[in-house]
Amino acid sequence: MTTARPLDGRGNEPLLEVDDLRTYFDTPRGVVKAVDGVSLRVDRGKTLGIVGESGSGKTVLSRSIMNLLPKNNTIREGSVRFEGRELTTMKNKEMRTIWGAEMAMILQDPMTSLNPVTKIGDQITESLGIHLGEKGKVAKAHAVDLLKSVGIPAAERRLGEYPHQLSGGMRQRVTIAIALACGPKLLVADEPTTALDVTVQRQILDLLETQQHERNMGLIIITHDLGVVAGRADEIAVMYAGRIVERAPTRELFARTRMPYTEGLLKSIPRLHQPSHTRLAAIPGRPPDLVDPGPGCPFAPRCNYAQDKCLTETPVLAPHAAGHEAACHFPVGTTAGQDALARNLAAGRTAAGTPLDSSTAIATAGAA
């Protein structure tokens, strides 16, 4: 039951369009600007990768898109349009007709998203009954087909098992089967391969890609690892401090990185040619406090290119090539960026006070 979904006459319209989305949380410490002015789009059959460190706002962004945030102490502004329908103004009752049926989500840890005391079969057939009206033998047969489609052996027997009886990879496949049960048009995968070994990671990503092509489904993959989406996403958006700081088609992003933060993420990816026990390059420092991030570029305290301007003026997304945008005053790979790095190396420190030495220049040149 993995037939391709027709385009239903909406081929030229974005499946998902997010415009200047802001999601803030009112806390005793102040207002946390978890998502601060994000715009993006996802087309049918296309994959968007959203990448960033923990705390960059990726997960809050996904839940804000899905309208899955708590109502109390949450401030949400901007627009989220799904097939032309505005989701930010919908109540939970209206969203329940969309959740699962048209938009679905795979959570990071299957043991927290699966009910530990409910059999696998019951968890799958529940959504089939709610959205498709399937019950009894029809729902069971559909559930078996779904488990087979995600590569689970002895599918009929697995219906009677509990989550703890399955391996981590099998549990993740079950969550994918549940998410795909009603044929959603958009699937959001939040860190779908975390805590899985590399072989199982590849299997899960291959599975998502196959299911996407068969269903002509839009897909958002959220991850902290650029390597996960390197060969999977059509476009990558890099998030930092609640904002998108670089966005480009995947090949363009890897070939001509412009944002120093993206460069740092690329440098942290292990390389096959590196000797064993090679220490991975790490981005120094910590992400900013989203309650009081301060003036200027939020990445400036950790940036090798930082100049005085970076400490006072917040950069905005600016075009660098077709479909490639970056928020940086001194972009990587440009004359301005090279001059800024050279000045900092000569001074032995950045404008933000971060110490630099010759090894920084070697590492940066190697990443480029």
pLDDT at 2 over 70: no
- Is 32 in contact with 215 (CB distance < 8 Å)? no
pTM value is: 0.89
Neighbours of 282 (CB within 10 A): 9
- In this predicted model, what pLDDT tens digit does every residue of 325-335 receive, in sequence order? 999 999 999 99
- Is 58 in contact with 50 (CB distance < 8 Å)? yes
Which residues, 6+ apart, have CB-to-CB distance to 188 below 8 Å?
62, 65, 66, 103, 104, 105, 106, 220, 222
> What is the reported pLDDT for 4?
40
Query: What are the phi and psi torsion angles at 115 (to 5°)?
Result: -75, 120
Tell me which of 9 and 315 has the higher pLDDT. Answer: 315
> What is the reported pLDDT for 300?
96
pLDDT at 337 over 60: yes
Residues of each domain in the chain carrying CATH 3.40.50.300: 1-102+185-197+211-255
- Beta strands 103-106 and 218-223: pairing type? unpaired
CA triplet 98, 99, 104: central angle to 5 degrees? 120
* High-pLDDT (> 90) share of the chain, %: 62
* High-pLDDT (> 70) share of the chain, %: 93
Q: Among candidates 233, 287, 267, which has minimal Cα distance to 52? A: 287
72 Ramachandran zone, left/alpha/beta (phi>0; psi -120 to 50)? beta
The reply to whether CATH 3.40.50.300 applies to domain 1-102+185-197+211-255 is yes
Q: Lay out the sheet containing 16-27: strands in order across.
A: 30-42, 16-27, 74-82, 85-86
Q: Predicted confidence band at 57 (pLDDT cuts at 50, 70, 90)?
A: very high
pLDDT at 41 over 90: yes
Average pLDDT over residues 176-186: 90
Q: Predicted confidence band at 358 (pLDDT cuts at 50, 70, 90)?
A: low
**Among 1-10, 65-74, 185-194, 321-330, which is the least confidently predicted range?**
1-10
> What is the reported pLDDT for 13?
81
- In this predicted model, what pLDDT tens digit does every residue of 266-298 receive, in sequence order? 988 777 676 777 777 778 888 898 998 888 999
Mean of the per-residue pLDDT values of the chain = 89
pLDDT at 215 over 70: yes
Retrieve residue 143's tokens. 């559930």
Tell me which of 95 and 7 has the higher pLDDT. Answer: 95
Tell me which of 2 and 171 has the higher pLDDT. Answer: 171
The string of DSSP letters for 84-150 reads TEE-TT--HHHHTTTBTTTEEEE-S-HHHHS-TTS-HHHHHHHHIIIII---HHHHHHHHHHHHHHT
Q: Predicted confidence band at 199 (pLDDT cuts at 50, 70, 90)?
A: confident
Retrieve residue 273's tokens. 């040619």
Which residues, 6+ apart, have CB-to-CB distance to 22 below 8 Å?
33, 35, 36, 37, 38, 75, 76, 77, 78
